[in-house]
Amino acid sequence: MSVLCEVMVRQIIPAVRVKVAKQLYTKGLKQEEIAKKLGLTQAAISKYLSGKYTQEVRKLEKSEAVKKISDEIVKAILKKSFKSSDFQKIVCEYCKKEVK
């Protein structure tokens, strides 16, 4: 695993999950639906929506990179063609674009 991938997995992806969960919840999706789309548990989504995550994730949640990735994932989910495996594909594609 590259250093960039490691940073994404440990830091960026948790912030993306929080942002996606919040966006989908405000669009009327239930916690169970969000969890299924993201391949997570309903408890994890509840934790994200209640703000029970680290200060680091809270800061990263506001970053432009997290916003771009989250917006793309939310758009894909709302089109109904999204599978939980698409989450990783979108994140990896973003990294490939940024590294070039």
Residue 11 has pLDDT above 60, yes or no: yes
**Distance (Å, whole) CA 44 – CA 83:** 18
Q: What pLDDT does residue 87 have?
A: 86
Distance CA(6)–CA(9), nearest Å, equals 5
Q: Quick one: pLDDT at residue 8?
A: 75
For 51-91, how does the pLDDT look when each residue is reduced to its tens digit (9 = 90+)? Answer: 988 899 899 999 998 999 999 999 999 987 788 788 888 88
Averaged pLDDT score across all residues of the chain: 88
Q: What is the value of pTM for the model shown? A: 0.87
pLDDT at 93 over 80: yes
Angle in degrees, CA 90, 88, 93, rounded to 5? 35
